[in-house]
Every structure is written in C-alpha cells, then in structure tokens.
Amino acid sequence: MRTIRFRRPVALIVISLLVMSGTLTACQDAGVTEQRASEVTQYGITWKFDRDYPVGQFITGDWWVIGPVNVVSVTPEPGPAPPAEVTDLGLNQWDDSGLQDNRERRNGSMVVMDVGPAQGYDSRGTTYDAATSITFPYELEADRSLISSISEVSTPNTAMYADLMWSSEKESGNVMKTAAVLTSLSETPPADAFRPSYVGADKEIFRASGLNWDLLQNLPVDATKYPVPSFAQYERYLERPWLDHLNGAWEGQWLLPVENQPSYGREIARIVGSASLLLNTDASQDQKRRLLYRLVQYGIDLHGMVRLGAVFNEGGGVTSGRKWPILFAGLMLGDPAFIPDPRGTVFHEDAQTYYGRGWYGQHALWQMVWHHGPRQPYQEKPPSEWDEWDQTSEDYRICCTVRAWVGQGLAALLMKAKVEWNHNAFFDNIDDWMRKTDQYAADRQGHERPPEETTSFDPFVDAFWDLHRNNVPAQRDGPTDLKWDVNATDDLKWVSNPAM
C-alpha cells in the first residue's frame, strides 16, 4: 500500500460512532481511530461478520475492515423479487429499455475486479450476470471492496437530485435505491484517508492532509444578488458512491441507484461543474471541506476505473462528466498519475469536440459519435443538407451536452488545468456557446442562433461565468489536438486535428 506524502496538515472532522448491539453505524465524514465490531451499517445496509474485526471509517464515512474477513450476511439480504414489487419496464422514445422481466435477484452485492457492463445487483437490468453476484457467507480478501445494494420495490421514485430537474424528470425509473462500499484492507489506514477506489485490487491510499488547497480560487459571488446554491445541497449529491464501473454502458442508466447519483451524464456534468465552482468561491475552508472531500473521492473512484481500462465515450449525453473529477482530484492531491493519456482513455467531451470548417464559420465543432450506430459529423454542412440523424445530433448538442459542460469547463480554466485537460476544442465549444455576442450572425444563412446558447442549465453557473470568465488566469493550451474519427476501424480512433 503506497501512502501519498502530505503537504500540510488539515483539521479532521472526528465524529463519535454510535454503538448499538455490537453494530457500528456510519457517521458522515468520520475519520476515526480503529475499533472492533462484528457488524457495520451504512445507508440502511448492514454487513455482519463471523466475529469482531478491526474496523473504522474513511473521511467520507465509508467503512473499512482489516481482512480477510468472513462476511456471513448482508441486510437487506439478496434474493428474488418480493411479491409486492411493481416495475415499469416501458420503452423509451427510441423503443429501447435497459430493463427486463427477471425476478431472480434483488439487493445484490459485487466485488468488482474489472470494469464492464455485467452486474449482479438487480436482475431487472438487461446486463445482469448471475456469476457476478456475491452469495453469503463470503470470504472478503484484503485489498478488495464489497459493494452492496438495496433494490427499489416499486418504480418510479423521486430522484435524489430532483431539485435540479424539470417537473417531467423529477422521478426516476431506476430499479436500484442505494449502494454502499465496504473496503477490506491489509493494514489500518491513516485517520485522514480517502476510501480507495472500489474497483480492482490496488487499494492505494490518498490522504486529506495532502490536498493542495492553494489551487482553489477564492472568487466573490454575492448570494444576495446571485443564485448561489448551498454547500449542503451539493454535499448531498456527492455523499454516496457513484457506481460508474458499468463502463458507460447506456443500459446502466436504469440501474444507477436513485439515492446515490444521477442516471444521465448531463446531470453528472452539471453537478461536478457546479460543485467545482462552489469550491472556487470565497467561502471558508471549513465551508468547503466536506464538499471537497466528496468530489475528490469521486475522482479517486474514476481514476481506479481508468487504470482498469474504463472509457466514457458513448454518444448522446450518457457519459459526460467523468474526466474533470479525475483531473480535479489529481490536481488537489498533487498526483500526475491522474492525468490520462490523450490517446488512451476516451472521454465523452473529447470524443464529441474537434476542429473543422463549420457551416456558419465556426471552427470548434461538435459530433454525436454514436447513437444506434456510428453517426457522421454534420456541422460542416448547412442545415438544408442535414438528414434526420444530423438533426438529432444537433438536438443532442443543445439538449444534453455542451450546455451541461459549462461549469466544469470554467472550473478547469480557473484552476489553470487547460493543459492537463489537453483537448482545446472542448473549451472553444463552450466559449462559442456562452458568448453573448453572436460573432457568426452574418454567416448563418438565414438560420437563427439556437436560443439556448449563451446560458447553461444552471443559473449559478451562468452568474459565475458572467462574473469570472474574464478572470481566468493566463495558461498554456493543451499540446495535443485530436479528433475522434467515427469511421476508423481501430479501437482507438484518434487522428491529428490541429486548430484552424
């Protein structure tokens, strides 16, 4: 186990554990000394052991146990669907569904050693694979993570992030309610340790005392004049583990636990973007600390997945928002290993943005990449030549992608991370979108600029952009300009794409 050397001490939030009948119940953002227990509980999930083991909590509140440990049971226990279950298996607008009528498994658990769509949590998911579902008792080796879940008895249910959504999208048809992670370690971690990534066997420990607070800007935004959300709101959005090990499979949208995370990349990008901007306000470190820990934890989890080969390049809007948390965590931890290889790992925002000659004079272009098959670039030709899928691509540019990326893009620029992001067309797409003056007006050939442009989905992001886009510090561009070639036959389809 490698421990990251820390830069400065950070005060820890130490909260006592509630002890009842031998059960230790998780408290928020704990960071406690080692204790012994025969069972631990978090988010309504209880893991019971065959005897007392050394246990404790990471600073995010997630449990660790010194293993190997015999987990004799988990509550709620995995099993078939209850008789009262009611699930809507209806098709979406594309006549697709990630759900099936299968009553075999609910409240499933997994130990995830490789990323991929197969899952053992809930057999209603079309990617269900019984072989991936843990049965108990189970010998949890050291340096392994046990992810356990609670299934929904009925759908739809109110989404955890409902306050961000429109009235038609406040309820979710996802079939999983929540999930929690128990990490088995070979030795006691430091009291300020983040939870290691819940995938794979590499349980590298990162410490809060190593966070580089100086990278965060302290920019003013008057909450009496502007719509500044509370830190508590975004702390809750990032409180529980976000299960991204399904590797961007579109079917996974129906599985992501509704009390843990958003089900769509649009909202993932929105949440990490707004959270990042909140962390760059002039709030105090004490106000920022909990949210900072949780966003860094998400980045650590994603970093572990990328090391196992994860990619997030599905078309449409499914997989947005995963690159920035990795870069953010790497910057805050001072670890360059978090910076992905531009020709290796594929991220949604990079695959969809490139340089070319657009039909109204723009050079920063957008493409769908994939939606029920590969989709050709369309912005080089005027709308009079678009086919149905070209128009659908434009609809997705407007509804689900660039407009949702503004917060994370601005945060990256404010933190001088453009060179680490290393895909300049991403930032130029955002600048074109948010620019108040239409510099292309004379070349639009009678077509109006989409009215959605100049704003993001989030009023706080819009306000922060207006206040501080011009305060972005001078910084280098990314050195590698690439385009994702949808027609290439290679697995990695990057081609050189210099700016025009």
Residue 21 clears pLDDT 60, i.e. is over it: no
Residue matched to tokens 């917060």: 407
Most distant CA pair in the chain, distance: 75
Mean pLDDT along residues 82-88 = 89
**Where are the alpha helices (H) located in 66-138, listed in sequence order?**
none
The strand ranges marked E within 342-386 are 353-355, 364-366, 369-370, 374-375
My answer on whether omega of the bond before 156 falls inside 30° of 0, hence cis, is yes
Domain boundaries defined on the chain: 18-338, 348-496
**What's the CA gap between 354 and 239, in Å, rounded?**
34
The pLDDT tens digits of the residues spanning 164-175 come to: 999 999 999 999
Are 424 and 418 in contact by the 8 Å Cβ rule? The answer is yes
332 φ, ψ to 5°?
A: -65, -35
pLDDT value of residue 12: 35
pTM across the whole model = 0.94
Residues 304-342 as b/e (b if ≥16 CB within 10 A, e otherwise) read: bbbbbebbbbbbbbbbbbbbbbbbbbbbbbbbeebbbeb
Per the prediction, the chain carries an average pLDDT of 93
pLDDT value of residue 29: 64
Q: Write out the H or E segment, with its range, that includes residue 394.
A: helix 388-400
More confident residue, 195 or 20: 195
